[in-house]
A and B are shown apart, each in its own frame.
Chain A
């Protein structure tokens, strides 16, 4: 993966007041952008250098956590048949967040659904994918859905025995538990990368659409919400201002309109409902959540899609988030009311 760095002294959005240095590259199967806001043009060279360094770190972390490489830390742990597997610090930290995300979302975000996801993907057919509106609507009555399977095998992390490598951990799990961090790792990586840019007044890390943001006082980041129905169109535009000591945000989007395919029994997509073990039957095509961190935003966005519109609005209304925008399968764009204060 190669990176292309572009530095500019001109504010790149009407809301921005500070010049930005930007590094664009590819990682995690998509785009990676590291943006750095600096106080003066003379700092752009250092910003450019730091952005490239952080992008390299992101690619290294992603390489350890990907399920698409049998040599990654994640897949080696998945392939290990032992009940207790030592794991390296990055994977251990990501798994700890996965456990927290499950607790935060009532188990809707579940990092142990690799087998269910692979099973769903194995039914993919090489046929054109109809639009989400062609699918039958999901029943909105929660009582009509199957009960959540609470017998899912458990796992936990423990500190590695004394004398082992520093910050290593021991992964304890029941036989058959395999991990897929696609739903939790990008936001977590974005937050981790943002922390490496603390010496600059502001920064933004775009981990393939999941963003970790820090806004400087007097500055703001302007972020569009992509409309999946029309390339280049936006559902809304966030303007995220800074504060005297800087202010952190996380913006993440999840949905079923990109990774989707036709299966023998209907439409399939990649977001598995842990209550059924199947692709979620949802009437939310896309959910975007604004929170205080990218990892929390990612978890809540995925939860909103899996739950469906009625339950999602109820849950998001009580969730510790700053806002949320949902695109329903009927084309309607709904927002949690407190979202509007952040919109352009």
Chain B
């Protein structure tokens, strides 16, 4: 088997007359055209390409799964986990693990809002005003 030792490309001279007359482009140095030869060999039918539908469906399903996974991950990160009260069990204090604090009683100042999980807000007494509210709710029988 001959071994080609020279890897450089070689220019091939092409006869201008052999170009088809309809060719109007400017051929490059390596342009090669087939000249009118003898009768064309009988056409072989093109090999049947595989049906792309199944491949496309697989790619689409994979894309949908990827997008869903990404959205789920984003949503999980955006919404904090709801506090869950763990029932105290004997010996649970010694069990290592995360401790979740449930806020039930909070101090609020006028204008502040308590967090949603709070059961009660411990209120600061409002400062005495020069003139009390014109209407007061009180226990029945209380002197205004």
Q: Which residues of A contact B (CB under 8 A)?
A: 12-13, 28-31, 33, 35, 182, 186, 204, 206, 208-211, 221-228, 231-237, 251-255, 257-259, 286, 288, 313-314, 317, 325-326, 332-337, 339-341, 343-344
Contact = CB atoms under 8 A, between A and B. Distances in A.
Contacts of A255: 139
Nearest to A223: B135
B132 A231 contact: no
Contact of B137 (A224, A231, A334): A224
A313 B110 contact: no
B137 A257 contact: no
B123 A288 contact: no
| Interface majority SS (helix, strand, loop, mixed), chain B | loop
Interface string B130-144: 001111111111111
B140 A210 contact: yes
Given A236-B126, A237-B126, A332-B122, A251 B141 contact: no
16 contacts: A30-B140, A209-B138, A222-B135, A223-B136, A225-B136, A228-B138, A228-B139, A251-B137, A258-B140, A259-B140, A259-B141, A335-B108, A337-B114, A337-B115, A340-B114, A341-B113
B128 interface: yes
A35 B139 CA distance: 19
Interface residues of B, number: 32
A75 to B, nearest CB: 19
A234 B133 contact: yes
A333 B122 contact: yes
Given A334-B123, A337-B114, A209 B139 contact: yes
Nearest to A333: B123
Contacts of A208: 140-141
B124 to A, nearest CB: 8
Given A211-B135, A259-B139, A335-B108, 16 more contacts: A29-B141, A31-B144, A204-B135, A209-B137, A221-B135, A223-B135, A235-B123, A254-B140, A258-B139, A259-B141, A317-B119, A332-B122, A334-B123, A335-B121, A341-B113, A343-B110
B116 interface: yes
Given A337-B120, A341-B113, A288 B126 contact: no
B45 interface: no
Contact of A340 (B113, B133, B142): B113
Nearest to B135: A223
Contacts of B144: 31, 226
A182, A225, A314 — which one has the most chain B CB atoms within 10 A of its CB? A225
A340 B139 contact: no
Nearest to B115: A337
Contacts of A288: 137
Contacts of B125: 227, 233, 235, 333
A341 B108 CA distance: 12
Given A236-B123, A335-B120, A336-B120, A222 B140 contact: no
B133 A209 contact: no
Closest 8 CB pairs of A and B: A224-B133, A337-B114, A226-B138, A209-B138, A255-B139, A334-B120, A12-B134, A258-B139
Nearest to B105: A334
B76 interface: no
A222 B116 contact: no
B112 interface: yes
Contact of A30 (B108, B123, B141): B141
B134 A222 contact: yes
Nearest to B104: A313
Nearest to A255: B139
Contact of B123 (A226, A258, A317, A335): A335
B139 A344 contact: no
Interface string B89-107: 0000000000000000110
A226 B142 contact: yes
A227 B119 CA distance: 22
A172 to B, nearest CB: 30
B65 interface: no
A337 B139 contact: no
A29, A208, A332 — which one has the most chain B CB atoms within 10 A of its CB? A208
B132 A206 contact: no
A255 B120 CA distance: 19
A264 B105 CA distance: 37
Contact of B139 (A206, A221, A253, A332): A253
